[in-house]
């Protein structure tokens, strides 16, 4: 942009200088020739004045030129870099003697400017011939200008009729294929003198919408001397409004201070207007507003006392960016009310629970669902973490994600030389509290990640119901885990995953089966189709832990302790291959001990085998193993259940034939057992 201004300045200086000096000595056609030759010498481009040219000097300098064009760079798409239908300039000469500039009229009619960047990245505002060398230094002892040599000798400026009429600007980038056009540019400037109010009002058309612009300054003299000057800016369309009221100073460094206000009735409409449509199925991203104090101090930019609103989300915060160092330093904070994310999520599909699972929380085993994509081998590029250093603090009064309700939460983010740390200092979730940490090390070719999380006192039933539409488990949950991974791709991360964790649920229930009722009236409990809706088995403890070594997750201590019931489980999940090999062994026992009881009490066990790929798990009851174990000593197994329970279950199982050979199940009971444990 600086080179563009230099080129324009050269063009104006050559035209004005020639127009002032030449009229005294040569005719109009000769003036044209000298002006065009001067421009070509300075820029290497041709200036053509195809229309009339008139120049007069006294009592004021008046220049009127028509049908002017300035040629483009070689190979450019448009033949002209700039053209205009007419130029009218009227400048009072006598006030210049005292250092005052009084422009009675300066009007550009139908100016057209074409800015282009070719396929090699070269812009058309780079001219073949450089401007003339700097003027020779003043003779020794010659007095410097009154401002110390660093400023202008102009003491005052007065602008009369200053207009840009029906202008247009086109920017083309051949390398990226970007083309932007601004049309119907109209601008009018009012300035009586540097100590009187300055106004610049105008409008333009971009992407089929009118943008109204206004710039004001109560005392514009400061803008010419570098001192602080009050400035107002307004930009308004039907999709966005921007306003600034403050001060600007440019003496030693840029200083800006004031109030900024930005708003739009629809973020979606604004994005579409700028050529970046937002495509997602959510209903959010409507109204947006941002207001606060902006401050620029050289290379430091800050925005404080900020009030932000997006749809129904409201908050406040601040941000500061310092660019003077080796890399930018960003410090920010944001405090939000309830963060409802549902308007930004796609609607739940028909037949899918609000929490994202299948309705009712059940999914058929062996459903043959489509195989998902494998782990990605695409390289993970974490080099962007070294681009800036940052500190960010976020607090929210609550978070809503589908039906999941999160309470007050807070996290701190720190990024330093490629090392990212996220500290979840507060999380309130379904009567529980949690904390966690995340670290991402992007300083090496293979990023490293570590995570740790701990939560206690979670109310399981409302959490699982809201999160997955699963209402079969209740109780108070505690969990913790810590994992690490390193790798240059997602697959490598999974293959190098290591860690451990544990989960415990206390004083809860598994809905859908009541073992005590089953023992008292086993036949009805198994065969009653409504039992899964009305029955439940209370437990005192449901717990398990896991270890992960190089992507292989192992659990060897799953247990459920409840009166009349023990459940044990162990197995593995191969994370890189996405497969499971697990065995669950529920056992009906005679012990009334729950929490604190042992898991090895004798009783009737029907193991369940869970195996296969994640997307198509197979759940198979090991009935053969259960019957085989019972057949070895049915009396002892039934006796271990005790009293009426043993008699009831013995009645269900038939008690064997008269020779004592084998165990019979009454008609329908085998299918009921298989269905119960298979699901």
Tens-place pLDDT, residues 307-323? 999 999 999 999 999 99
Which residue from 512, 609, 509 is spatially nearest to 561, judged by alpha carbons? Answer: 509
Reply yes or no on whether the pLDDT at 677 is more than 60.
Answer: no
Highest mean pLDDT among 15-19, 123-127, 212-216, 597-601: 212-216
Look at 275-284, 484-493, 620-629 and tell me which has the smallest mean pLDDT: 620-629
286 CB-near residues (< 8 Å, 6+ apart)? 265, 266, 267, 268, 311
- Of the chain, the percentage scoring pLDDT greater than 90 comes to 47
How many whole angstroms separate alpha carbon 314 and alpha carbon 615?
A: 40
CA gap 342, 328 in Å, rounded: 34
Task: Tell me, letter by letter, the H, E, C secondary structure of 173-232.
Answer: ECCCCEEEEEEEEEEEEEECCCCCCEEEEEEEEECCEEEEEEEEECCCHHHHHCCCEEEE
**Bridge partners (DSSP) listed for residue 177:** none
Average pLDDT over every residue of 625-641? 56
Residues 273-315 have pLDDT tens digits of 998 898 878 889 999 999 999 999 999 999 999 999 999 999 9
- Rounded-to-integer distance, Cα 553 and Cα 576, Å: 10
pLDDT number for residue 487: 96
Position 323 scores a pLDDT of 94
User: Above 70 in pLDDT, residue 34?
Assistant: yes
Q: Beta-strand (E) ranges in 430-515?
A: 432-441, 448-459, 473-486, 498-511
- What confidence category does residue 244 fall into, taking pLDDT thresholds of 50, 70 and 90? very high
Q: Which residue has the higher pLDDT, 589 or 166?
A: 166
The answer to whether residues 233 and 243 touch, using CB atoms and an 8 Å cutoff, is: yes
CB burial readout 383-410, b (16+ within 10 A) else e: eebeeebbebbbbbeebebbbbbbbebe
Question: Does the structure show a pLDDT above 50 at 85?
Answer: yes
Give the residue-averaged pLDDT of 648-653: 44
Q: Which of 172-186, 228-242, 281-295, 522-536 has the lowest mean pLDDT?
A: 522-536
Is residue 639 pLDDT above 60, yes or no?
Answer: no
**Higher local confidence (pLDDT), 546 or 357:** 546
Q: How confident is the model over 348-356, as a mean pLDDT?
A: 53
Model pLDDT, residue 660: 42
Q: Mean pLDDT over all residues of the chain?
A: 80
How many CB atoms are closer than 10 A to CB 129? Answer: 12
- The whole-number pLDDT of residue 636 equals 54
pLDDT for 242 equals 97
Is the pLDDT confidence value at 444 over 80? yes
Taking residues 149-174, report their average pLDDT: 78
Q: Which two tokens stand for residue 60?
A: 């004021």
Residue 164, pLDDT score: 93
Q: What percent of the chain has pLDDT over 70?
A: 73
For tokens 């009541």, what's the residue? Answer: 514
| pLDDT given for residue 252 in this prediction | 83
Q: Which residues contact 348 (CB under 8 A, 6 or more apart)?
A: 354, 356, 402
Kindly tell me if the per-residue pLDDT of 587 is higher than 90: no
Per the model's pLDDT, the better-predicted residue between 499 and 671 turns out to be 499
Query: Which one is predicted more confidently, 356 or 573?
Result: 573
Given this model, what pLDDT does residue 7 score?
A: 60
Distance between CA atoms of 473 and 542, rounded to whole angstroms?
10
Closest among 548, 673, 676 to 623, alpha carbons compared: 673
Confidence at residue 120, expressed as pLDDT on a 0 to 100 scale: 87
* C-beta pairs of 118-121 under 8 Å, 24+ apart in sequence: 118/73, 118/75, 118/76, 118/174, 118/175, 119/174, 119/175, 120/175, 121/175
pLDDT at 489: 95
Q: By the 8 A CB rule, do 320 and 379 touch?
A: no
| pLDDT at site 629 | 57
pLDDT tens across 411-437, in order?
Answer: 999 999 999 999 999 999 999 999 999
> Sign of dihedral through CA atoms 591, 592, 595, 596?
negative
Q: What's the confidence (pLDDT) of residue 319?
A: 97
Give 424's strand partners: 411, 436
Distance, C-alpha 404 to centroid of its chain? 21
**pLDDT attached to residue 363:** 41
- Pick left, alpha or beta for residue 335 (phi over 0 → left; psi -120 to 50 → alpha; otherwise beta): beta
Distance CA 191, CA 219 (A): 10
| CA 486 – CA 418 distance, rounded (Å) | 15
Q: Enumerate the β-bridge partners of residue 249.
A: 255
369-427, pLDDT tens digit by residue?
556 678 999 999 999 999 999 999 999 999 998 888 999 999 999 999 999 999 999 99
User: How far apart, in whole angstroms, are the C-alpha atoms of residue 51 and residue 68?
Assistant: 7
Based on the number of CB atoms within 10 Å of its own CB, is 525 exposed (0-12), middle (13-18) or buried (19 or more)? buried
Rounded Cα gap, residues 402 and 345, in angstroms: 8
First-last CA distance in the chain: 70
Q: Say if residue 16's pLDDT is above 90.
A: no
Region 61-90 average pLDDT: 91
- pLDDT interval class at 455 (50, 70, 90): very high
Say which residue the tokens 């080796």 belong to. Answer: 326
The residue that leads in pLDDT, 26 or 334, is: 334
């Amino acid at each position: 942009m600086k080179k563009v201004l230099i080129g324009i300045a050269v063009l104006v200086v050559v035209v004005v200088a020639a127009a002032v000096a030449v009229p005294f000595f040569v005719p109009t056609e000769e003036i044209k020739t000298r002006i065009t030759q001067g421009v070509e010498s300075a820029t290497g481009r041709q200036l053509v004045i195809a229309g009339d040219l008139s120049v007069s000097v006294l009592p004021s300098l008046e220049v009127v030129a028509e049908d002017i064009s300035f040629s483009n760079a070689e190979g450019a798409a448009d033949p002209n870099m700039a053209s205009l239908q007419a130029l009218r300039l009227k400048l009072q000469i006598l006030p210049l003697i005292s250092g005052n500039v009084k422009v009675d009229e300066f009007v550009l009619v139908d100016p057209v400017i074409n800015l282009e960047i070719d396929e090699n990245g070269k812009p058309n505002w780079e001219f073949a011939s450089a401007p003339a060398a700097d003027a020779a230094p003043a003779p020794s002892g010659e007095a410097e200008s009154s401002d110390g040599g660093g400023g202008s000798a102009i003491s005052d400026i007065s602008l009369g009729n200053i207009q840009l009429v029906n202008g247009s600007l086109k920017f083309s980038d051949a390398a990226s294929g970007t083309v932007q056009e601004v049309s119907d540019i109209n601008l009018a400037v009012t300035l009586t003198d540097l100590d009187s109010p300055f106004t610049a009002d105008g409008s333009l058309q971009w992407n089929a919408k009118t943008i109204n612009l206004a710039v004001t300054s109560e005392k514009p003299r400061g803008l010419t001397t570098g001192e602080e000057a009050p400035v107002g800016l307004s930009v308004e369309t039907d999709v966005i409004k921007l306003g600034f009221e403050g001060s600007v100073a440019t003496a030693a460094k840029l200083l800006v201070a004031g109030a900024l206000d930005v708003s739009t009735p629809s973020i979606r409409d604004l994005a579409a207007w700028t050529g970046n449509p937002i495509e997602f199925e959510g209903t959010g991203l409507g109204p947006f507003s941002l207001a606060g104090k902006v401050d620029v101090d050289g290379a430091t930019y800050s925005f404080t006392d900020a009030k932000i609103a997006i749809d129904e989300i409201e908050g406040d915060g601040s941000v500061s960016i310092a660019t003077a160092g080796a890399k930018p330093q960003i410090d920010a904070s944001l405090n939000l009310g309830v963060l409802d994310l549902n308007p930004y999520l796609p609607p739940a599909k028909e037949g899918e629970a609000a929490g994202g699972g299948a309705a009712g929380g059940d999914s058929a085993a062996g459903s043959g669902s489509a195989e998902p994509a494998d782990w990605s081998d695409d390289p993970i590029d974490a080099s962007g973490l070294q681009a800036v250093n940052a500190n960010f603090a976020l607090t929210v009064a609550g978070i809503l994600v589908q039906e999941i309700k999160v309470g007050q939460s807070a996290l701190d983010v720190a990024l330093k030389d490629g090392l990212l740390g996220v500290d979840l200092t507060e999380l309130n979730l379904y009567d529980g509290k949690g904390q966690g940490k995340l670290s991402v090390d992007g300083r090496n070719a293979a990023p490293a990640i570590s995570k740790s999380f701990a939560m206690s006192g979670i109310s399981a039933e409302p959490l699982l119901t809201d999160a997955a539409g699963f209402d079969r488990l209740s109780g108070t949950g505690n969990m913790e885990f810590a994992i690490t991974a390193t790798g240059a791709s997602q697959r490598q991360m999974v293959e190098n995953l290591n860690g451990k964790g544990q989960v415990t649920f206390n004083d809860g229930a598994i809905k859908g089966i009541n073992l005590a009722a089953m023992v008292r009236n086993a036949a009805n409990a198994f065969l009653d189709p409504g039992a899964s809706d009305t029955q439940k088995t209370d437990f005192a403890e449901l717990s398990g832990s896991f270890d992960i070594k190089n992507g292989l997750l192992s659990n060897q201590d799953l247990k459920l302790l409840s009166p009349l019931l023990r459940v044990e489980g162990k197995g593995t999940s191969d994370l890189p291959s996405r497969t499971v090999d697990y065995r669950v062994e529920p056992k009906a026992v005679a012990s009334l001990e729950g929490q604190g009881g042992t898991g090895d009490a004798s009783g009737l066990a029907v193991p369940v085998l869970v195996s296969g790929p994640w997307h198509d798990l197979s759940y198979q009851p090991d009935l053969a193993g259960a019957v085989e174990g019972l057949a070895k000593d049915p009396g002892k197994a039934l006796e271990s259940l005790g009293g009426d329970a043993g008699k009831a279950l013995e009645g269900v199982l038939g008690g064997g034939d008269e020779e004592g050979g084998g165990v019979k199940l009454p008609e329908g009971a085998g299918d009921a057992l298989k269905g119960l444990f298979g699901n």
